[in-house]
């Protein structure tokens, strides 16, 4: 971080400011010019509140040289992270595939879909038990009964299970029962929840907020990591733009951007990004071609009668067809699926 001081700042005020900054464990390099004095801060500047500095009477400008995220930053961790999830992993040469219904609806439903997506090549089973629906009158999920049904499906198929958590008071139960805890787009900036998840040792799937910038998304990962849990996987799921034809706008460019900025694995959810089943296949292909470490696909045995997100769900047969094409694309870019 660089601080440019106002001309005529008194020597005493400058020394006071340097003292305050050094108290935080940073080193300050002072450069005295003919008009301006510049302070260069060396060390972990994430402890410095730049807005407080900017209102300091003697500060003309304060600028960050590095991004405000540290633990998620590739600069300090050049090697790409691989996160183990149950007996599988996300990140590395292999492309991870998470598939399953938007919501767990019944034992028969989740078992049937689990077996079919596994046969087609999925590694992880998804299923919402607590649904953050836009309307309070829409199906809210089966709650912990849904988690129990996912556990039965894991027992039957051996697939690690992925499910969305909604609040801090669910952390202990999710940490015990779910292999990969999903933080949904609507909770990306629920900082209390992120901190609690940071105290667990469970892998966290952090979806991008509805209108979050990539930096805000990485700062949310930083919240989890700053509490000690570095097992974070990022999920691009489309963002709000002026376009209304699709449910959201899939930001494919987020994949190479995040891979450049961070060492964390990044996956893509083309189902929520597009909101239309017929568009899931081309967008999933694009995600893999762009270098995503995985994809998350909503698959339903009877999309027409799904209790949530039927319109964007694909059938097990369509999923199988998608997997076949992804095998070709993965091979072409030197990866496996």
Chain residues that interact with Mn ion, rule: CB under 5 A: 102, 309
> Which of 67/309 has CB closer to Mn ion?
309
Q: Rounded CA gap, 129 and 21, in Å?
A: 47
Window of 12-20, 35-43, 76-84, 184-192 that interacts with ligand PEP by CB under 6 A: 184-192
- For position 116 contacting ligand PEP by CB under 6 A, the verdict is no
> Which of 18/297 has CB closer to ligand PEP?
297
> Which of 67/309 has CB closer to ligand PEP?
309
Contacted entry of ligand PEP, Mn ion, none for residue 184, CB cut-off 5 to 8 Å set by kind: ligand PEP
Given candidates 100, 101, 128, 141, which one binds ligand PEP under the rule CB under 6 A? 128
Q: Which residue is nearest to ligand PEP (CB)?
A: 184
Q: Smallest gap, in angstroms, from Cβ of residue 304 to ligand PEP?
A: 18
Q: Smallest gap, in angstroms, from Cβ of residue 264 to Mn ion?
A: 23
Q: Rounded CA gap, 35 and 15, in Å?
A: 17
Window of 2-10, 41-49, 51-59, 178-186 that interacts with ligand PEP by CB under 6 A: 178-186
> Which of 93/132 has CB closer to ligand PEP?
132
217-276: which residues touch ligand PEP (CB under 6 A)? 237, 272
Contacted entry of ligand PEP, Mn ion, none for residue 67, CB cut-off 5 to 8 Å set by kind: none
Q: Smallest gap, in angstroms, from Cβ of residue 198 to ligand PEP?
A: 19
Given candidates 1, 102, 150, 233, which one binds ligand PEP under the rule CB under 6 A? 102
């Amino acid at each position: 971080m660089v601080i440019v001081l106002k001309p005529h700042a008194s020597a005493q005020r400058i020394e006071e400011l340097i003292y305050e900054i050094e108290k935080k464990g940073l080193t300050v390099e002072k450069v005295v010019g003919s008009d301006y004095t510049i302070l260069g801060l060396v060390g972990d500047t994430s402890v410095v509140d730049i807005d407080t500095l900017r209102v300091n009477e003697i500060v003309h400008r304060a600028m960050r040289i590095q991004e405000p995220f540290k633990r998620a930053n590739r600069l300090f961790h050049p090697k790409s992270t691989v996160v183990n999830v149950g007996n599988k992993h996300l990140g590395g040469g292999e492309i991870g595939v998470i598939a399953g219904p938007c919501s767990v609806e019944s034992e028969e439903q989740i078992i049937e879909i689990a077996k079919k997506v596994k046969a087609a090549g999925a590694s992880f089973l998804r299923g919402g038990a607590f649904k953050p629906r836009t309307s309070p009158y829409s199906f809210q999920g089966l709650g912990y009964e849904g988690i129990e049904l996912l556990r039965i499906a894991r027992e039957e198929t051996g697939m690690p299970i992925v499910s969305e958590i909604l609040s801090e008071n669910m952390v202990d139960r999710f940490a015990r029962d779910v292999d990969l805890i999903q933080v949904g787009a609507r909770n990306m900036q629920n900082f209390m929840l992120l901190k609690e998840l940071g105290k667990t040792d469970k892998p966290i799937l952090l979806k991008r907020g509805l209108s979050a910038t990539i930096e805000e998304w990485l700062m949310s990962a930083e919240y989890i990591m700053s509490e000690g849990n570095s097992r974070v996987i990022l999920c691009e799921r489309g963002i709000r733009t002026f376009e209304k034809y699709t449910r959201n706008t899939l930001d494919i460019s987020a994949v190479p951007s995040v891979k450049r900025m961070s060492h964390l694995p990044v996956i893509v959810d083309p189902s929520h990004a597009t909101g239309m089943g017929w568009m899931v296949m081309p967008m999933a292909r694009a995600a893999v071609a762009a270098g995503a470490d995985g994809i998350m696909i909503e698959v339903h045995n009877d999309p027409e009668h799904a209790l949530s997100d039927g319109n964007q769900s694909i059938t097990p047969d369509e999923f199988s067809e998608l997997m076949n094409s992804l095998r070709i694309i993965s091979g072409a870019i030197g990866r496996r699926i």
